A and B are shown apart, each in its own frame.
Chain A
Amino acid sequence: MKQRAMWAAVLVVGLAMAGCGSATGTGSSSSGSADKLVVWDWKSGEPSAAAYIEKAKADFGKKHPDVTVEFVAQPFDQYYTLLGAAIQSGKGPDVILFNGGGQIRDRVDALAPLDEYVAEDEQRLAGWEAFAKDGKIYAAPVTLQGHPIYYNKALYEQAGLDPASPATTWSEFVADCAAITKATGAKCFALGNKEGAGIQFWLSALASGVLTAQEYDDWIAGKRDWNSPNVKRIFQLWQEAGEAGLNNDGANSTAMFNDSFAIFQSAKAAHIIGLMSDVGHWKDFNEFLTADKLGVMDAPVVTAGTTPSLPYDGGIGYGVAKWTKDPKVAADLVRSLTSTDALTAFYAEAGAIAADTTIDVSQAGPAVATLVAEIETGKPAPHVALSSKTLDLMGRLSQQLLSGSVTVDEVVKQLAASDQAG
C-alpha cells in the first residue's frame, strides 16, 4: 500500500507541476536568441522566389552582419494552422508572412505595430490598408493583390468583336458573351467555386460597377448595408450568370486553383476574374494566350453613374511577432524584404505586381501596363474587408445560389448577421 501511495504522490506532484501553466499562451516567451531571426512563409521554398529572398538577405546582411536569418517555408495548406499553434503557445517565428485582410487582422494580437519602423517606406509602397487595423500597421506589403477581369482577345476577334474596346455596361457585356459563345462555343466566365472562392472574386471585381462611390467607401470602412438594393444586385448578378449559363458547367465542383484558370487558358471561356499577385495572373495567362491576346478590362457598369476601378489591396506582407527579442532588428528585416531591389527580383521572376510602384514594368506586355496604370485610381477589394467567418459562409451560400437552393434575400440576411457578429 505504501508504495502505491508513494507512486500516486509522485504522479500528483508531477501533474501539479506540469499543470501550473494555463492552456492559453501568455505570449511573453520568445522564440530564440537576439542574433538569429526566424522567418515563416510559404514562398521562400519556391524557385521563382529564390532571387527575391537572396536580395533581401543580402540587404539585411549589410545592416546587421552579426544576425543570421533562417527562412522556414511552410506548406500553404497548413500555414495558418501551424501559425495558430505557434501563436497559441506564444512561441514561434520572429518575422511572419501574411495574406492581407482578414488573415492578418484576426491575428494582430500576436504582432508588433510597425508604424515607427516603416515610416520611410510609406510613400514608395502601396497596399498598406490590407495590413492595418485600428490605424496601426502590422505588416509591410510585398505584392499587390487585385482582381482584374482578364479576357481573351482572340475569342473576341473570332466573334467579330473589337478586342480593343470591351463592353463598358453589363447589358453590352452579356450581349458580347452571347456573341462569343455563339461563334466559338466558349463560355463567358471561367469560374472555379469549389472552395467557395469564386464569389469573393466576383464581389470584388464587379462591386465598383454596382455600388455607388459612397456605398463602396462605406463598405470598406465597415459600414455595410446588406439590405441596399445595390449590394443585393451583386448577388443577383451571380445567380443570374449561373442560371443564364455564362459560367463553365460544374462551377461548384471546379477548383479555382488551377482548374478554372486552365479553362480560361485553353480558350474554353472568354473571361476570368483572376489575380495580379504571383499566381493565376497575367504571366500564367501570357504563357498560353500570349501577351498580345490577353486583355484586362474594367468592371462593366451595372448601376448608372458609377465609375469602375481596379479592386486591389496589399497581397502578401511580412509582419513582426510581438514576442521577438528586438523588434527594431526584425523590422529591419521586413524593410529588406520590401526593398526595391528585392521586389524587382520578385516581379521579374514570379511575375507578381510588387507593392513598390517605382518598379519599371514596361517589358511585361499590355495587360500589366493596364494594371499598373490603374493602381493609382484603384480601391481596396470589398471581399478583403470581410472576416474569414463571413467569407466562409459567403462561399457556401454562393454555391447554394448556383444550385438554386437559396434566395438572394436569404443570402444577404445571413451574411448581414455574420458580418455584424464580427
Chain B
Amino acid sequence: MPPAHRGGTRSRRRGRGTERLAPYVLVAPAVLIIVVLRLYPLLLGVNFSLTGDGERNGTVVGLDNYLELFRDPLFRTALGNVGLLVLLLPVAVAIPGLLATFIYLRVPGHRFYRSVYFFPAVLSPVIVGAIFNLLLAFDGPLNAILGSVGLAPVDWLGDPDVAMFMVVGVHVWATFGMALVVFLAGFATLDSALLDAARVDGASLPQVIWHVIVPSLSRTIQFVFVTTMIGMLTSMFGLLFVMTSGGPEGSTYLPEYYIWIQQGQMNRPALASAASTALFVIMLVVGLLQIKLLKRAGKED
C-alpha cells in the first residue's frame, strides 16, 4: 500500500519537524522576557549614559558623563566604600559562622540563641535603621552608657571616620541570621564521627574548628561569602538612607545611593545612568570572580 506508506513518512517527517521546533517554542517566552525586559533596558541605559543632562538633553556627549563621574570625589568615595565592604566581608562571614558553630556544639541555651539570632532578618532595613538611629544618637543610650563608665561620648553617625563602620555593623547585625541558617544547614551534613575522632584525639575547641569544621564546611563558607557580598553591595540603600543619608561629609556614599541622588535630587538622569553602568560593570567583575571561586570549590570536591 504505497500511498499509505508515503503518508506515514510525511507525518513522521512533520512530527520530527515539530519536535525540532518544540524546544525553541518552549524557550521562546523566557528568551523574549530576558531580551525585552532585561537586555534591551540594559542597552538603553548604556545608550542613555552617553547622552547629556539638562540643556544637552538628548544629544550624544560621548564619554563626558563617565569622565565627570570619575572626577567627582563623591563617586570616588562611593567606590572606595565598595572596597571597604569587600575588606569587611570576612568579618561579616566569620560572625554567623562562629555563632553557628557554638549553636551546633550545643552551648547552653542554643535553641534560644538560634531564634534570637534569626529575628533581625525579618525586620525591614528602615525599621532597623530607625532603631539604631535612636540607639546611636549623640544623646542616645549608647553614649549614656559610655558616660556612666566615664568615657567621652562618640558621635557614632556624625563622625566621618566612624559612620561607615556603624552602618556596615548594623547591616551585619540585621542580616547575619540568614547566613547563620545556611551555616546550620551545612552543619547538618557534617560527619559527626570526625568531630568525635578529633575529641578522642584530645583536640581543643579552636583545633576542632580550624582542622575539622572549617575544611568540612568549605563549600558552605564559600556560598555564604558570595551571598553576603551580594547583599552588602546591593541592599544597603535602605539603611544608608535612614541612618546617614550618605553623610557625614559624604563619607557613607555607596554607588547605589549616588545614583539615586543624581537621578532624583540633582535631576541628572544621564549621569546616574553612567554611574549605574559603572556599578553594573563592578557587579559583573565581582560576579565572575564568584563564579570562578564556586567552580574551584566544586573541583576540590
Task: List residues of A whose CB falls within 8 A of some B CB.
Answer: 3-4, 7, 11, 14-15, 18-19, 22-24, 77-78, 80-81, 84, 88, 106-107, 109, 194-196, 249-255, 259, 388-389, 392, 395-396, 399-400, 403, 405
Contacts and interface: CB of A to CB of B under 8 A. Distances in A.
B24 A3 contact: yes
B264 A81 contact: yes
B66 interface: no
A88 B48 CA distance: 11
A24 B56 CA distance: 11
B157 interface: yes
A285 B74 CA distance: 37
A387 B58 CA distance: 22
A253 B133 CA distance: 9
Could you say which of A15, A22, A253 has the most chain B C-beta atoms within 10 Å of its C-beta? A253
B47 interface: yes
B286 interface: no
Nearest to A422: B54
Contacts of A15: 35, 40
Contacts of B248: 194, 252-253, 399, 403
B260 A250 contact: no
B264 A250 contact: no
B249 A253 contact: no
Contacts, number: 109
A18 B40 contact: yes
Nearest to A26: B58
A253 B157 contact: yes
Contacts of A396: 74, 247, 249-250
A405 B267 contact: no
A70 B263 CA distance: 26
A11 B36 CA distance: 9
Contacts of B245: 194-195
A194 B20 contact: no
How many chain B residues sit at the interface, stated as a range, is: 35 or more
B269 A251 contact: no
A249 B267 contact: no
Contacts of B241: 77
A388 B58 contact: no
Given A249-B155, A254-B137, A399-B247, 11 more contacts: A3-B21, A24-B51, A80-B267, A81-B263, A109-B54, A194-B158, A388-B266, A388-B267, A392-B266, A399-B158, A399-B249
Contact of B269 (A4, A84, A196, A400): A84
A405 B163 CA distance: 16
B120 interface: no
22 contacts: A11-B31, A23-B44, A24-B48, A24-B51, A24-B58, A78-B264, A84-B263, A107-B267, A109-B57, A194-B157, A194-B244, A194-B248, A249-B139, A250-B137, A250-B153, A251-B158, A253-B138, A253-B155, A253-B159, A396-B247, A403-B160, A403-B249
